[in-house]
Amino acid sequence: MTVRLSRAKINRLADIVIELLQQVDYVDFPPGVDAPALRVSIKKAIEKELHMYQEIEEKVIQKIKSQRKTVVEGSREWDILFRKYYNEEIGKLDKTL
């Protein structure tokens, strides 16, 4: 369920963010901040965010697998539990931000 992006896609997303920021009148880049440095920062932020969601997914999967009753992956019950636990973890994350 985790979104996996190739380096090329992450690079493209970073480029799109920079292009959009450059088009906005009320966004000014500080002196000395060039597009390549900004691109690296944006790429790191995207990768960090994707990694965080991957960790949440892994935690949810472990929680389902640790149930007393065996739940078959891909079953309706698995999907329901996955959504429930995933939303709980996202809720916890929202409270910490």
Q: What is the pLDDT of residues 23-44, one digit of tens each?
A: 888 888 778 888 888 899 999 9
* pTM attached to this predicted model: 0.76
Biggest CA–CA distance in the chain, Å, is: 59
Confidence at residue 2, expressed as pLDDT on a 0 to 100 scale: 66
Instruction: Calculate Rg over the CA atoms of the chain.
Output: 19
What is the rounded CA–CA span in Å between residue 92 and residue 74? 25
